[in-house]
Amino acid sequence: MRSRLLGTWLPLALFALFLLFPFYWMVLTAVRPNQELVSTATNPFLVQHPTLDHVRYLLTGTGFPRWFWNTMGIAAGASVLSVSLSWLAAYGIVRVRFPGANGAGLAIYLGYLVPPAILFIPLADVLLKLGWFDRPAALVPVYTTFLIPFCTWLLMGYLKSIPREIEEAAMVDGAGRLRVMLGIVLPLSGPGLISAFIFAFTLSWNEYLYALVFMSAPEHKTVPVGLATELVRGDIYQWGPLMAGAVLGCIPVVVIYFLFVDRYVQGMSGALKG
Amino acid sequence: MAAGRLSLALDRGAWFGPALVVPAAALLGLLLAYPLGLGVWLGFQDAKIGAPGTFIGLENYQYLLDDPVFRLTALNTALYTVVTVALKLALGLGLALVLNQRFAGVRFWRSVLLLPYVVPTVLSAFAWWWIFDPQFSFISWALVKLGLIRHNIDFLGDSWLARGSLMVANIWRGTPFFTIGYLAGLQSIPTDVYEAAQIDGARALRVFREITWPLLMPLTVILTTFSAIFTFTDFQLVWTITRGGPANATHLFVTLAYQRAIVGGAMSEGAAIAAVTLPALGLLAYAALRAIRERA
The pLDDT > 70 percentage for chain A reads 96
Q: Are B60 and B272 spatial neighbours (Cβ–Cβ below 8 Å)?
A: yes
User: What pTM did the predictor assign?
Assistant: 0.91
Partner B contacted by A62 (CB < 8 A):
no
Pairwise CB contact (< 8 Å): A113 & B11: no
Average pLDDT over residues A126-134: 91
User: Confidence class of residue A101 from pLDDT cuts 50, 70 and 90?
Assistant: confident
Alpha carbon of A62: minimum distance to chain B alpha carbons (Å): 17
Alpha-carbon distance of A52 to A240, in angstroms, equals: 10
Alpha-carbon distance of A212 to B80, in angstroms, equals: 23
Taking 70 as the threshold, does the pLDDT of residue A249 lie above it? yes
Pairwise CB contact (< 8 Å): B281 & A249: no
User: Confidence class of residue B181 from pLDDT cuts 50, 70 and 90?
Assistant: very high
Partner B contacted by A7 (CB < 8 A):
yes
Interface of A with B in 151-180 (CB under 8 A): 152, 167-168, 171-172, 177
Pairwise CB contact (< 8 Å): B118 & A253: yes
What pLDDT, on a 0 to 100 scale, did the predictor assign at position B240?
A: 94
Exposure letters A188-207 (e unless 16+ CB within 10 A, then b): ebeebbebbbbbbbbbbbbb
Taking 70 as the threshold, does the pLDDT of residue B26 lie above it? yes
Average pLDDT over residues B91-105: 93
Alpha carbon of A219: minimum distance to chain B alpha carbons (Å): 19
Interface of A with B in 111-140 (CB under 8 A): 111, 113-115, 117-126
Partner B contacted by A40 (CB < 8 A):
yes
Calculate helix-pair angle for A53-61, A10-31, nearest 10 degrees. Answer: 60
What pLDDT, on a 0 to 100 scale, did the predictor assign at position B2?
A: 47
Q: Report ipTM (2 d.p.).
A: 0.91
Pairwise CB contact (< 8 Å): B180 & A269: yes
Average pLDDT over residues B104-122: 93
Average pLDDT over residues B187-203: 76
Average pLDDT over residues B167-189: 93
| Between residues B12 and B161, the one the model is more confident about | B161
Instruction: Enumerate the residues of chain A whose CB falls inside 8 A of the CB of residue B260.
Output: none
Out of A7-16, A52-61, A67-76, B45-54, pick the least confident: B45-54
B213-268 pLDDT tens trace: 999 998 999 999 999 999 999 999 999 999 998 999 999 999 999 999 999 999 99
User: What chain B residue is nearest to A180 in terms of C-alpha separation?
Assistant: B10
User: What chain B residue is nearest to A88 in terms of C-alpha separation?
Assistant: B20
Average pLDDT over residues B151-175: 94
Alpha carbon of B162: minimum distance to chain A alpha carbons (Å): 18
What pLDDT, on a 0 to 100 scale, did the predictor assign at position B117?
A: 94
Give burial (CB, 10 Å; 0-12/13-18/19+) of B214. Answer: exposed
A4-54 pLDDT tens trace: 788 889 999 999 999 999 999 999 999 998 888 877 777 888 888 899 999
Q: Are B45 and B55 spatial neighbours (Cβ–Cβ below 8 Å)?
A: yes
Average pLDDT over residues A103-129: 88
**Closest CB from A92, A168, A209 relative to B21:** A92
Q: Are A217 and B244 spatial neighbours (Cβ–Cβ below 8 Å)?
A: no
Alpha carbon of A122: minimum distance to chain B alpha carbons (Å): 5
Partner B contacted by A104 (CB < 8 A):
yes
Pairwise CB contact (< 8 Å): A126 & B38: yes
What pLDDT, on a 0 to 100 scale, did the predictor assign at position B161?
A: 95
Average pLDDT over residues B127-152: 88
What pLDDT, on a 0 to 100 scale, did the predictor assign at position A236?
A: 57
The pLDDT > 90 percentage for chain B reads 65
User: Confidence class of residue B277 from pLDDT cuts 50, 70 and 90?
Assistant: very high
The set of residues, in sequence order, having a beta carbon less than 8 Å from that of B183 and lying 6+ positions away, is A265, A269, B96, B99, B100, B110
What pLDDT, on a 0 to 100 scale, did the predictor assign at position A237?
A: 63
What pLDDT, on a 0 to 100 scale, did the predictor assign at position A222?
A: 96
Instruction: Enumerate the residues of chain A whose CB falls inside 8 A of the CB of residue B172.
Output: 18-19, 22
What pLDDT, on a 0 to 100 scale, did the predictor assign at position A227?
A: 94
Alpha carbon of B195: minimum distance to chain A alpha carbons (Å): 19
A143-178 pLDDT tens trace: 999 999 999 999 998 999 888 888 888 888 888 888
Instruction: Enumerate the residues of chain A whose CB falls inside 8 A of the CB of residue B21.
Output: 88-89, 92-93, 104
**Closest CB from A37, A113, A142 relative to B285:** A113
Q: Are B123 and B117 spatial neighbours (Cβ–Cβ below 8 Å)?
A: no
Instruction: Enumerate the residues of chain A whose CB falls inside 8 A of the CB of residue B27.
Output: 85, 141, 144-145, 148
Q: How much is the mean pLDDT over chain B?
A: 89
